[in-house]
Amino acid sequence: MSAPSGQPVRIYGFQTSVDIARQHTYDTAPVAGHKRPGEYSASDNRTVPIVKQRIRFNVPADRSVDFIRPSLDLPKGRLVASDIRPVAAVVRGRDPPPHSLQNDEKELNDHPLLLLSNPAYGLPPALVANWSAIGLKSIYQWQASCLLTPGLLNGSRHLVYTAPTGGGKSLVADVLMIKRIIENPGRKAILVLPYVALVQEKLKWLRRIVQDVEKCIDDTGDKVDSTRPYHQRWRKLQKSIRVTGYFGGSRTAASWADTDIAVCTIEKANSLINSTIEECSIGELGVVVLDELHMLDDEHRGYLLELMVTKLLLLRQNIQIIGMSATLSNTEMLAEWMHAVYYVSTYRPVPIDEYLVFENAIYPAATSRQLFQTISRLKSTPTQSLQENMPPQRVVSPSTFRELANAMTNATVALATETASAGYGALVFCGSRQACQSQAAIISEAMPLPGDETDELSKRLDLVAELRSLPGGLDPVLENTLVKGVGFHHAGMTTEERELIAQAYDQSVLRVLIATCSLAAGVNLPARRVIINGARMGRELVGPAMLRQMCGRAGRKGKDEAGETYLVCGHSDLQAVCDLLEADMPAIESCLAPEKRGLKRALLEAIATGLVSGYDAIKEYVQCTLLYRTADKKLAYSIMQSALQELVKEELVHVDDDESSYSATQLGQAVVASAFAPEDGLFVYEELKRALQAFVMDGDMHIFYMFTPLQLAASTHINWRIFRDQLDNLDESGLRALQFVGVQPGFVNYMAQSGGSLKENTSEQIKQARIYQRAYTAFQLRDLSNEVPLSDIASRYQIPRGSVQSLAQQCHGFAAGIVKFCQRMGWGMLAAVLDHMQDRLEAGARADLLEMAQVTYVKGWTARLLRENGYRNLRALAEADAKDLVPILMMANPRKTQKGQLHPAEAERYAKKLVAKAEIIIASANKIWEREMQVELDE
């Protein structure tokens, strides 16, 4: 796409400010452009959400909603949350909520462009019907204004835009992307999201939205050109829109040719674009959507986003680029870089009130600076009271309970339980995983208990049963809190646990969810109240962007009329918090700067994929980067020259004699094909090259070491005593393999006795640390492939179960990269050996179970139990009776069958669930068995 001439255009169109919208009154409307799937009726045969029964409040429309706790006699020994009292003299009403344009028929008649069915958008009836089925029939004025910007709906112009969280950003991108695919059936789309959880969530959403929607294919009859390749003939007749997910640990068999919309993580998207450039199929790409565009500034992954945009800008193909975020401050500059129009909206459908909580007193966040100045003044006159000098809006009563002696904990518990008692949801953010669990335990003790026969309690018991049935079992702390309506969510939990907890909270089965800040950016779970327990996430003070992400969870369109955020602060962080509340969003900067070394990878990828070769072309490529746009031009060229020299010195790139043309060496090609950073690629190359000389083939330990992801191992904390014990238990082959890669048992023993830690001050020390970290992590990978239960591995190495699962997921992508690296280097035999082990890693089982482990729900330990109980192959499993499999599935999770674990009603529900699971297993085995038989017949 050629860049439009002139400066980017700022589009206003309709009036979009909240101030103008507040001139009207309105009823709360359904979700518009919301990321999460919508709600359906029972007749849709889809998930039916739990409808919350709300407490009605008899308050004026212009006043804040007070939460009223119903009277409840609690057993002795339970915590009782403190009361929250208003300070009448300073209670101020809130302005009426902004006007909604979605349920007002008169407004829609006056503004027909707010209807998605309007011909101006050119959307097919099936697509409009799918959106309408989830309650989305109309859009906001700012969305209409943005979409109708000249050049956007026909894909001829790029777009960069920002709008508050919950303001409907996603809908704009969805409309532009899907319209592009429908009207250009030969084109594809890539949607880039930063986290696996968001990719999985968006996959479900998009598949629902494009169901029964067809591409505009001009059929010319039944005759098909038989000279064209088969996949092209098939694709020509394919009318449905195929949505595929690409992320670490995904097992999708779909190729680029089988995909219309690829929903990717940042790493997978960059690799996919590289492949299409190298294979000259980039012309099939029609649109790239970059969600969470502020990730450009991320020190670990931001440069990959910049690489993608830079390559697309240089290509000048007819590829529309759409970037969006809720936390952009320099939108205009980014638009200039991307040659895009830009749009800024401040509209948020649900208003949010922000508060600062300090020493059991609640102040409007807008007065935080005044609060700090008052406290500073009172230090010289300690006899005076803070609340006398600056009255708060509300006060949390001090508690007589020892557990609530800390003012921050007392306020957090009071605010969370008050929200839950009123029938709303509260999100509590904490600075660490341990803090999440401890806060959940305290809050749950103060929660009102549901009656024994209530539907709410029944659903919570169902959740507990489902979590217990997972391979990792159920954390006892979590089990205690769930029954009381409180859950926690952090990276130390398994993916299945987090998904079930998030779903339960979203459906109001759980009233309070305590999470680390990763939830704010990773999963879309809004709440009536967001409570931030302390301004630190880990040791670092939370930044303005993350604070906005967390606060943006407050308020839910269609369920809440308002949202509230409470930042609970202690003495030591008060000044920093005041500065944080007043801080502007930081400007997005390039991650290709010298200290981040991103330009080196950018140049290697461009040269290896054939995007550039000559020196002048490389300079033009650098001119397309954000670095060139924001830094001094001479500095950008200096960094380019230095990076080229390093690539040549490391033999990743070859330069001709007159230094006018560059080409990637075989090693450079292998590094790019395997999606490694240059530094990681060189490390892998050295280790594989040594392995070719003496690969330890009489055991598996050498392969497990090679497949251990570098980046994950780099963050591994080694318990040297456990390391020593695992070395002592190794057979001769395994010990020989680790000694070959550089592990010295004597050094491990010394570290175990001395309690020392690895030094990483020199390049040699860094290399040594990487070897020992990978070897230690390789033990966990070995156990996973030998069918050791995930919970046992977590216990053995004293790490969270989520960390073990993360290793299992990340090693798949890294192993695939290693195999591809060997293939590109021409090391066919080594690639074949590693490829076989890659199947074992994916299955989590020994070699004799690989066939069985292809079946849905049958992995590792379950496959072993089936084999030991007579189902020795796919055919036997395909011919099984579902009821005969139930006892085996119960054996796969013995925790569930222990005496006293299950209530009779729960046991009955569990048995029905296992029968359904067995039927799916048999159906999957049948499908795989029939496919294998067909292959044999064809041969």
Reported confidence tier of residue 647, pLDDT bands at 50, 70, 90: very high
**Which range (14-18, 346-350, 561-565, 722-726) has the least confidence?**
14-18
Q: 609 and 626, same structural domain?
A: yes
With 0.75 as the threshold, say if the pTM is over it.
Answer: yes
Kindly state whether residue 36 falls inside one of the protein's structural domains.
Answer: no
Buried b (16+ CB within 10 A) or exposed e, 387-426: eeebebbbbbeebebeebeebbbbbbbbbbbbbbbbbbbb
Instruction: For residue range 768-787, list pLDDT tens digits in order.
Output: 999 999 999 999 989 988 87
| Banded model confidence at residue 835, pLDDT cuts 50, 70, 90 | confident
Pairing status of strand 352-358 against strand 361-364? antiparallel
Confirm whether 122 is domain-assigned: no
pLDDT at res. 861: 67
Residue that wins the pLDDT comparison between 197 and 793: 793
Adjacency order of strands within the sheet including 426-429: 84-86, 394-396, 361-364, 352-358, 563-569, 529-533, 426-429, 512-515, 486-489
Using CA atoms, how far residue 4 sits from 105, 179, 333, in Å, is: 39, 22, 15
pLDDT of residue 888: 81
Lowest mean pLDDT among 455-469, 631-645, 881-895: 881-895
- Angle formed at CA 192 by CA 187 and CA 620, multiple of 5 degrees: 75
pLDDT of residue 321 exceeding 90, the answer is: yes
Which of 406-415, 454-463, 698-707, 845-854 comes out lowest in average pLDDT?
845-854
Give the Cα separation of 375 and 253 in Å (integer).
62
Going by pLDDT thresholds of 50, 70 and 90, the confidence category of residue 903 is low
Q: Determine the pLDDT at residue 228.
A: 42
Q: Cα-atom radius of gyration of the chain, to the nearest Å?
A: 29
Lowest mean pLDDT among 2-11, 804-813, 853-862: 2-11
- Does residue 564 share a domain with residue 539? yes
pLDDT at position 121 over 60: yes
Confidence (pLDDT) at 559: 67
Residues 528 and 650 in one domain: no
The beta strand positions in 255-381, using DSSP E, are: 261-264, 285-290, 320-325, 340-344, 352-358, 361-364
Residue 412 pLDDT > 50: yes
- Residue 41's pLDDT band (cuts 50, 70, 90): very low
pLDDT-based confidence at 391, cuts 50/70/90?
Answer: confident
Q: Tokens standing for 48?
A: 């039916």
Q: What is the pLDDT of residue 250?
A: 58
Q: What is the DSSP string of 491-554?
A: TTS-HHHHHHHHHHHHTTSSSEEEE-THHHHHS---BSEEEEESSEETTEEPPHHHHHHHHTTB
DSSP code for 563: E
Q: Are residues 876 and 928 in the same domain?
A: yes
**Phi, psi (deg, nearest 5) at residue 517:** -65, -15
Q: What is the pLDDT of residue 550?
A: 86
Domain of 615 in residue numbering reads as 594-664
Q: Would you state the structure tokens that stand for residue 325, as one six-digit string? A: 């975020």
Residue 788 phi, psi dihedral angles, 5° rounding: -75, 130
| Judgement on whether residues 431 and 381 belong to the same structural domain of the protein | yes
Task: Say yes or no: 234 and 316 in one domain.
Answer: yes
CA dist list (Å): 205 to 170, 468, 506? 11, 28, 15
621 and 524 share one domain: no
What's the rounded Cα separation, in Å, for the pair 476 and 488? Answer: 12
Which has the higher per-residue pLDDT, 283 or 870? 283
Pairwise CA distance, residues 413 & 294, whole Å: 33
Q: Span 598-627, mean pLDDT?
A: 92
- Give 851 or 297, the one with higher predicted confidence: 297
CA distance 820 to 688: 12
Cβ(448)–Cβ(72) below 8 Å = yes
Tell me, what's the pLDDT at 616?
92
Please report, rounded to a whole number, the percentage of residues in the chain having pLDDT higher than 90.
36
CA-based end-to-end distance of the chain: 47
Residue 270 lies in a domain: yes
Reported as a pLDDT band with limits 50, 70 and 90, residue 206 is very high
Where do we find the tokens 């680790």? 738
Task: Write down the pLDDT at residue 906.
Answer: 63
- Distance of alpha carbon 802 from alpha carbon 366, whole angstroms: 39
Indicate whether 922 and 809 sit together in one domain: no
Q: Residue 389 has what pLDDT?
A: 73
What letter represents residue 929's amino acid?
W
Whether residue 99 has pLDDT greater than 50 = no
Using pLDDT thresholds of 50, 70 and 90, give the confidence band for residue 927: confident
Which pLDDT value is given to residue 379?
Answer: 66
Exposed/middle/buried for residue 75 (C-beta within 10 Å: 0-12, 13-18, 19+): exposed
Residue 119, judged by CB atoms within 10 A of its CB (0-12, 13-18, 19+), counts as exposed
| pLDDT confidence tier of residue 222, bands split at 50, 70 and 90 | very low
Q: Say yes or no to pLDDT of 37 above 80.
A: no
155-169, 311-325, 605-619, 857-871 — which is least confidently predicted?
857-871
Does residue 291 sit within a domain?
yes
CB atoms within 10 A of CB 334: 26
Q: Is residue 761 part of a domain?
A: yes
- Pick from 582, 612, 631: which residue ends a domain? 582
Question: Residue 218 domain-assigned?
Answer: yes
pLDDT tops 60 at residue 759? yes
User: What pLDDT was estimated at residue 88?
Assistant: 55
Is residue 734's pLDDT more than 50?
yes
The rounded percent of the chain whose pLDDT value lies above 70 is: 79
End position of a domain, from candidates 550, 582, 614: 582
**Residue 205 and residue 36 in contact, taking contact as beta carbons nearer than 8 Å:** yes
Q: What average pLDDT is seen over the chain?
A: 80
Last residue of a domain, one of 526, 554, 582: 582
Q: What is the pLDDT of residue 68?
A: 37
Cα gap 262→203, rounded to integer Å:
9
Closest C-alpha among 642, 647, 644, 672 to residue 660:
644
Per-residue pLDDT tens digits for 439-481: 999 999 999 776 555 678 888 888 888 888 776 677 888 888 9
Flag whether 120 is in a domain. Answer: no
Establish how many alpha carbons lie within 13 A of residue 904's alpha carbon, considering only the half-sphere containing its beta carbon. Answer: 0
Q: Indicate the burial class of 374 (C-beta count within 10 angstroms; 0-12, 13-18, 19 or more).
A: middle
Strands 563-569 vs 529-533: parallel, antiparallel or unpaired: parallel
Give SS3 for 352: strand
Most confident among 111-115, 347-351, 632-636, 647-651 (mean pLDDT): 647-651
Q: What is the pLDDT of residue 597?
A: 67
Note the pLDDT of residue 815.
86
Q: Do 331 and 560 contact (CB within 8 A), yes or no?
A: no
pLDDT(744) > 90: yes
Cα–Cα distance, 158 to 143 (Å, whole number):
16
pLDDT digits (tens, 9 = 90+) for 326-335: 888 889 999 9
Please indicate, yes or no, whether residues 446 and 369 belong to a single structural domain of this protein: yes
Distances (CA, A) of 428 to 279, 287, 443, 511: 48, 37, 10, 11
Q: Which residue has the higher pLDDT, 40 or 134?
A: 134
| Partners of 758 in beta bridges | none
Amino acid at 392: P
Nearest to 775 by CA among 719, 832, 837: 719
140 occurs within a structural domain: no
pLDDT tens profile 509-534: 999 999 988 776 666 777 889 999 98
- pLDDT: is 624 or 575 the higher one? 624
Q: What pLDDT is recorded for position 395?
A: 92
Helical segments of 66-168, H only:
105-110, 125-133, 141-147
Quick one: DSSP state of residue 919?
H
Q: What is the pLDDT confidence band of residue 741, given thresholds at 50, 70 and 90?
A: very high
Burial of 462 (0-12, 13-18, 19+ CB in 10 A): middle
User: With bands split at pLDDT 50, 70 and 90, how would you rate the model's confidence at 48?
Assistant: very low
Q: Are residue 324 and residue 361 in the same domain, yes or no?
A: no
Torsion 883-884-889-894 (CA) sign:
positive
Closest CA to 127 of 217, 218, 215, 189: 215
Domains held by the chain: number: 5
Regarding whether 711 and 567 lie in a shared domain, the answer is: no
CB 55: neighbour CB atoms within 10 A? 13
Residue 52 banded pLDDT, cuts 50, 70, 90: very low
- pLDDT score at 805: 82
What local confidence, expressed as pLDDT, does residue 895 receive? 47
Torsion of CA 241, 246, 249, 253, to 10 degrees: 50
Residues 754 and 868 in one domain: no
More confidently predicted of 586 and 338: 338
**CATH assignment at residue 627:** 1.10.10.10
Q: How many CA atoms lie within 13 A of 423 on its CB side?
A: 13
Cβ–Cβ under 8 Å, residues 512 and 415: no
User: Would you give the DSSP letter of residue 715?
Assistant: T
CATH number of the domain encompassing residue 486: 3.40.50.300
- Interacting residues of 256 by C-beta distance below 8 A, sequence separation 6+: 188, 262, 272, 275, 276, 281, 284
In the sheet that holds 188-192, the strands lie side by side as: 243-246, 261-264, 188-192, 285-290, 320-325, 158-162, 340-344
Lowest mean pLDDT among 146-155, 589-598, 930-939: 930-939
- Rounded to an integer, the average pLDDT of 833-860 is 71
Pair 332, 325: CB distance under 8 Å: no
Amino acid 938: pLDDT: 63
